[in-house]
Amino acid sequence: MNQDTLPFVGIDDFAFKKRMTYGTVLIDLLTHKPLDMLNSREHEQVAAWLSARPEIKLITRDGSKSYAKAVREASHEIVQATDRWHILHQLFDSVKKAVYAHIPAKWIPDSLDETITEKTDREDPLRKSEKIRMENEDKRWARIQQVQALSAQGFQAMAIARELGISRGTVYSDLRQTRKPNHQRGSPYEKYRPLIHSLVKKGQTAKMIEEQCRTEGYTGSMTTLNTMIAKERKKIERKGKEAFSFRQKILSLIWNPDNKDSLDEIAELHPELLTAFPLITKFNELVHSFRELVKSKKDQQLPAWIERQKSIEDKFIRSFINGICQDLDAVTLGIRELWSNGPVEGQVNRLKTIKRMMYGRAGFDVLRNRFLYQW
């Protein structure tokens, strides 16, 4: 890339009001000075600004599809480069979501399955609603027995009703009862309880249990399912060690760029960990191979790397790969060249300082003048 050709421009958005209104800043990548500020980040306004400046040869940006579209509309001669930091940040987010999706917060190794037994020596504390239900059942059963005893003594229904202060319909209903009433409502989802029980024993998260139950035909609410999961967890008692919480540690070991023996250190956390979660090995290879590719600027190896990683069966990783494929030319150039959006991020931070100095009350013209002021 001929760095004597001007200008090389970096572009990024900023918030006038977070999650509400946004603007755009454009920075000269050679001087690190601001070129302009726009009061929108919509591609139409950005494309119009770029079209008026045909001397622009290169744009660095994050993964914004809006800015990519604006550059294409302005000129097909402008080269686009995706910022490396943003690419790595997207990779980290994808791997984090994948690790958290596949590894439960509390993991019970298979070797400890034999130590898991149902509570048979004591009952779980009853919830308040359960206590009230049982008390009402006892009261009604006592009244039914009293009604039936008076009837056996020869009292008529009207007399029993007057004696106990109830209606004749209630008397007739009580006389038909042959067993203690049960006020507990039945659930059409009881057939999923064995499946839930087995998944809880394996240490599955509520989200993973929901996905499995939905696959088996469960159509109820997540609230009902959470109640069933909670009950099954209360029925299970493990003896011995506490459940393991490895997700954050695994992510840290995988992402550490200086750690060449991350799989060995993960295996040291627990000997069954890599066997129980084989995707950890693939996540580790994904991260280290991509970081090495970026560090050594081997952009020509990117297509082969993408083909290798397509075999990973995870929606978050697939989303990351698809994002690279959709913006392949910009990502390739971002890996190959030295340009980055660092100067732009610095100017965005400076803009935030200016906004704070004016207590966020400055209009666009004042804010733009202060941002473009050449010191």
Select from 270, 374, 367, 375 the least CA-distant residue to 37: 367
Q: What is the dihedral of CA 180, 185, 187, 188, to 10 degrees?
A: 90
DSSP 107: B
How far is Cα 304 from Cα 240, in angstroms, rounded to an integer? 47
Q: How confident is the model at residue 136 (pLDDT cuts 50, 70, 90)?
A: confident
Percentage of the chain beyond pLDDT 70 is 90
Q: Which is higher by pLDDT, 199 or 131?
A: 199
Residue found under tokens 């206590």: 131
- Using a 10 angstrom Cβ sphere, with 0-12 exposed, 13-18 middle and 19 or more buried, the burial of residue 116 is middle
Mean pLDDT of 301-322: 92
What pTM was computed for the model? Answer: 0.63
Which tens digits make up the pLDDT trace of 21-44? 999 999 999 999 999 999 999 999
Residue found under tokens 């209903």: 173
> For residue 117, what pLDDT is reported?
40
Mean pLDDT of 74-103: 93
Q: Is the link from the previous residue into 7 a cis peptide, with omega within 30 of 0?
A: yes
Mean pLDDT of 319-328: 93
Q: Are 27 and 35 in contact (CB under 8 A)?
A: yes
Beta bridge partners of 38: 24
Mean pLDDT of 175-187: 76
> Which residues, at least 6 apart from 177, have a Cβ–Cβ distance to it below 8 Å?
144, 148
DSSP 63: S
How far is Cα 318 from Cα 323, in angstroms, rounded to an integer? 8
Which tens digits make up the pLDDT trace of 103-129? 988 887 765 444 444 433 444 566 677
> For residue 113, what pLDDT is reported?
46
Q: Are 60 and 81 in contact (CB under 8 A)?
A: yes
| Three-class SS state of 200 | helix
Handedness of CA 19, 24, 30, 34 (dihedral sign): negative
Task: Give the DSSP H/E element, type plus range, for residue 9.
Answer: strand 8-17
Q: Are 10 and 19 in contact (CB under 8 A)?
A: no
Residue found under tokens 């421009």: 9
- Helix pair angle (262-269, 247-255), 10° resolution: 170
